[in-house]
A and B are shown apart, each in its own frame.
Chain A
Amino acid sequence: MRAIGVSHSLNGRGKPRSRGPARWAAPKRSPHGRGDTTRLRVLWLLAAALLLASAVWVRLAYWQVAQHASLSDKAAQYHLRQVAQPAARGAVYDRDMNLLAVDTTVYDVTLSPTVVKPASREKVADGLSAALGMQSQDVMDLLESSQAFAYVKKRQPKEIADRIAGLDLPGVGLDPQPDRRYLRGGTPDVSLASSLLGFVNYAGEGQQGVEQRYNARLGGQSGSAMVYHDPTGRQITLSKQKLREPVDGVNLVLTLDSSIQYAAEQAIADGVKSNKAQSGSVLVMDSRTGEIAAWANYPAYDANAFTTTDPARMQDPIVSAHYEPGSVMKVVTLAGAIDQGKITPSTTIQDPGFIVVGGSVLHDWNGINNGTVTMTNVLEKSLNVGAVRAQQAEGADAFLHYLDAFGITKKSGVDVAGEVPPTLQAQWRPTELATAAFGQGVAVNMVQMCAAINVIANGGRWVQPHVVKQVGNVRPSLPAARQAVSPQTAASMTQMMESVVQRGSGNLARVQGFEQNEAGKTGTSEMPENGKYSHDHVWASYAGFLPADNPRFTMLVVVRQPDNGSSDHNEGYYVSGPIWKRIAQQIIERQRITPGAVFPSN
């Protein structure tokens, strides 16, 4: 009991236990009030310190957390650099694996004027001016400028770059750049097959032709690497890098035969010049496969000097421009009518020299009464009336069907950039339909027309014209060949086209040794100018294949606006036939084509 009493009366230290809030009460105010003031000051100081600390922490959090990414990037810029890893562009070969286009290296000559000490400026200026063929003062002006970096001259060949490297000049750099080079063509200042190949601009992008069409495959995928640099700018390879390996482009093997291409370029250039024409084009195709062996234009351009080339010259008239095939189209018209069984080569008609269709009078080219003629005569003499009569016998629907079957109504699908679609009437009036029978009012490109004539050479089968044989190690898949007309029709048409060469308008295209074994057709069509057809400006064309009994190639020659003084001398037989013959002779030599054995007919 006593212990309890003690515990109640004492708080363990011999003092009476205080009750209630007295224990936590504020200390007694001193007589001068100094205790409260001190506490208040301490509190204020604490609050101020906390505020300042918070401000610092908030600011730190802002820089370290919110601004982390941008500050890290800025820091990285001082020692980290993204280095492009360019992919090597694939080369282009012809069918015999001769190089047509290859990447070489050129060098941009650079200067860091701030690095060059004043005492060395003269040496640098003299060295660079001598190597680059510049005025020494021009280099000195760069050296005295306050620039940190300047280009002295771009895209210099390796020989000059080696000479500059040998001088060991301070502040001078050589920046390697890829440079696409093309081989010399058939005429001076022109690269081989420039229209077909196109070119590669300084950004590494293929422009025009095959270079543009296969740009993704040829160019590959460039890579990049984030690398550290030391203060002198040298790369520290073993540092932590983010590397994306480049994927090199694949090589392209074309169907082109560079020898035939060269011969075609020379022949068309001479033909255009001798006929005072505006331009001309040649297309040579393997009759069985559709592989294009030559694709030549005149005038063409030098793809190695594309920066100084007139852009108008870069347009490829073979695939990117229309022309009206003229009488070459009669092959399609007559083939359709024969295939329909409406006519035969020996079917006769009366040709008074004109025909009235839809209120319009359509004339033959010779303007005379031709009397009774066979369909073979129609083709030999290229009579418009006969073609219209054949189309009328065939019917409009069938005619349009055969236009489609011969590939006239849609793009050829050749694997070259920039092919223009044909322009055909949506609604055919009778006159338009009739003129289409002899190739006026139908605008096609040359690839379409060459493939259409090739149908006859290939036993009635249309094959896909193409220029690329192999992409890397893969042969591109092509649309299947299709039967446009029956083999019998093709054989009949071949005989009729042989007759054109032997007895008709194709006489100037006769190749020695193949006089009895060559098929062809001339064409002359007026050019539309200012809404009507011009009598002075024409497309003169010639299409044919050889040997007729076992065709090895089909060729189409088109010359634009020949100017030989008289309209007769501007026609296809006179202008384009001899060009066709000259190229055919070269192909015969190149491909060792022999005239077929002549068997007696018993």
Chain B
Amino acid sequence: MPPSARHNIPPLDPPFAEEKALVNTRILTTRRQPGSGRLAYHRRRRSAWPRLATIANSSTAERFGLFTFARAYTAAGALLAVVIAYLVLGAHATQTAYELDQLRAQNAQLLAEQDQLRYKDASLHTRAGIAEAAAAAGLQHSNTPKYVGYQPVALDLSAPIGPDRPQDAPLWQQALAAIVGSTARDAQAAGKADVWRRP
């Protein structure tokens, strides 16, 4: 029984003129073997595209149908990209480090200048610096101070301090002061203070 009959599959192609085909003996032998021939070819071709379940279980490479070399190239490419990225980052970091180094040197230079200026400034304001500048200007400091002559001041703390202050307040304030028992200004001030104290 021919394989097509056994599997109940109708022939797909028109009758095949085997003798007309330019095939060699080995190919013919292969075709005649069980499991070979067009049916097997169809079966193999169908299986070249995996089913959904197979896709779900396969690796990414298999899903995209990559060849072994393609996978190797992809891996090598990815590795190369990583290496390049690392080198770029490294170069950038090194460059930044050099710039930082330069900035540090500049900072140290500026600090040194600042210290130098601080010392110069302090030196200028010392007594020695002032004396030197004064001497250069022809000035001379006397070491023997002279005091203004004075008479001993005799104070009597118990003596009256003088007449009362003249009353320059208006009459109504003076009258009010007489009533409340203090000066009008004090009364006014007291009144204001009361107002201010209210919340």
Contact = CB atoms under 8 A, between A and B. Distances in A.
B115 A105 contact: yes
Given A186-B127, A262-B128, A102 B119 contact: yes
A385 to B, nearest CB: 38
A184 B123 contact: yes
A160 B128 CA distance: 26
Contact of A238 (B97, B113, B118): B97
B126 interface: yes
B62 interface: no
Contacts of B106: none
A555 B108 CA distance: 44
Contact of B96 (A238, A262, A597): A238
B112 A158 contact: yes
B155 interface: yes
A176 B122 contact: no
Interface stretch (B146-154, B163-171, B191-199): B146-154
A105 B116 contact: yes
A586 B115 CA distance: 32
Contacts of B129: 184
A183 B94 CA distance: 44
B125 interface: yes
Interface residues of A, number: 34
Contact of B118 (A99, A230, A512): A99
Contacts of A183: 122-123, 126, 128
Interface string B79-114: 000000000000001101110110000001001110
B112 A259 contact: no
A181 B115 CA distance: 10
A262 B94 CA distance: 54
A239 B97 contact: yes
Interface string A96-109: 00110011110000
Given A105-B111, A158-B113, A185-B128, A512 B145 contact: yes
B143 interface: yes
A234 B152 contact: no
Contacts of A234: 97-98, 101
A238 B126 contact: no
A176 B129 CA distance: 28
B12 to A, nearest CB: 50
A238 B93 contact: yes
Contacts of A238: 93-94, 96-97, 100
Interface string A180-218: 010111100000100000000000000000000000000
Contacts of A184: 123, 126, 128-129
B70 to A, nearest CB: 38
* Most interface-central of B98, B112, B155 (chain A CB within 10 A): B112
A183 B153 CA distance: 44
A260 B179 CA distance: 61
Interface in A208-252: 230, 234-239
Contacts of B97: 234-239
Contacts, number: 83
A410 interface: no
Contacts of A102: 115, 118-119, 122
Contacts of A176: 108, 112
B109 to A, nearest CB: 9
Nearest to B132: A184
A168 interface: no
Interface string A539-573: 00000000000000000000000000000000000
Contact of B127 (A103, A235, A259, A599): A259
A184 B143 CA distance: 20
A183 B128 CA distance: 9
Contacts of B96: 237-238
B147 A513 contact: yes
B127 A258 contact: yes
Interface string A295-322: 0000000000000000000000000000
A458 B144 CA distance: 29
Interface string A578-600: 00001001000100000001111
A102 B116 CA distance: 9
A262 B112 CA distance: 28
Nearest to B156: A600
A235 B93 CA distance: 12
B155 A98 contact: no
Given A98-B122, A105-B112, A597-B155, A589 B145 contact: yes
A536 to B, nearest CB: 31
Interface in B21-38: none
Nearest to B112: A105
Nearest to B97: A237
Given A103-B115, A237-B101, A98 B147 contact: no
A187 to B, nearest CB: 9
Contacts of B115: 102-105
Given A236-B94, A512-B145, 11 more contacts: A98-B122, A99-B119, A183-B122, A184-B123, A186-B127, A192-B126, A230-B94, A262-B127, A263-B127, A512-B147, A599-B154
11 contacts: A98-B122, A98-B126, A102-B115, A158-B116, A192-B128, A234-B97, A236-B94, A258-B126, A259-B127, A512-B145, A599-B154
Interface of B: 93-94, 96-98, 100-101, 108, 111-113, 115-116, 118-119, 122-123, 125-129, 143-145, 147, 152-156
User: Nearest 4 pairs between A and B by C-beta?
Assistant: A105-B112, A262-B127, A99-B122, A184-B128
